[in-house]
């Protein structure tokens, strides 16, 4: 249906004028909804980048990645889960780190092309300009 124009408005009844206002209102409403959706997407992407991402659904391993920098969770999670699987094989935890009192010292400096480091901020994996932090229940480091 073509929206009525001013020339099509029935002067006697006013029919068409309300329809024209209604169509214009719906168009403005549609534009407003689309703008709000785009704004919501723009706000949620950085929020996700700052938060942590569970690497499995449903959660089985408890492995999470956070503070993603120049890397997506689609890239970071497989690497973190691979590290988790490797570390849980007999004898591999000792190859990854040792504990001096409650402070971990990394024995393994690289894993699957990613450099490993531990600092106050946590367990970090980095490659070129990309980096992310890995956490989980007793993973990757547990010095109690």
Q: Which residues constitute the domain of residue 79? A: 51-135
Residue 85: the pLDDT is 92
Over residues 52-81, the pLDDT tens digits come to 899 987 777 789 999 999 999 999 999 999
The answer to whether residues 63 and 118 belong to one domain is: yes
- Most confident range, picked from 7-11, 33-37, 105-109: 105-109
The answer to whether residues 59 and 93 belong to one domain is: yes
Residues with Cβ within 8 Å of 81's Cβ and at least 6 positions away in sequence, in order, are: 55, 56, 61, 63
The answer to whether residues 28 and 55 belong to one domain is: no
Domain membership of residue 30 (yes or no) is yes
Structural contact between residues 3 and 19, judged by C-beta atoms closer than 8 angstroms:
yes
How many angstroms separate the CA atoms of 18 and 129, rounded? 58
Cα-Cα end-to-end distance for the chain: 72
State the total domains in the chain: 2
Over residues 12-35, the pLDDT tens digits come to 444 554 444 444 444 433 333 333
The answer to whether residues 36 and 72 belong to one domain is: no
């Amino acid at each position: 249906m073509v929206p009525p124009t001013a020339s099509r408005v029935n002067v006697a009844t006013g029919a068409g004028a309300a329809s024209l206002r209604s169509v214009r209102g719906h168009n403005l409403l549609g534009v407003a909804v689309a703008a709000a959706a785009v704004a919501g997407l723009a706000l949620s992407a950085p929020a996700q980048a700052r938060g942590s991402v569970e690497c499995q659904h449903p959660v089985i391993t408890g492995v999470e990645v956070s503070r993603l920098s120049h890397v997506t969770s689609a890239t970071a999670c497989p690497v973190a889960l691979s590290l988790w699987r490797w570390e849980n094989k007999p004898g591999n935890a000792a190859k990854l780190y040792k504990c001096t009192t409650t402070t971990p010292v990394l024995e393994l400096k690289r894993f699957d092309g990613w450099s490993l480091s531990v600092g106050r901020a946590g367990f970090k994996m980095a490659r070129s300009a990309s980096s992310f932090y890995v956490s989980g229940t007793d993973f990757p480091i547990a010095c109690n």
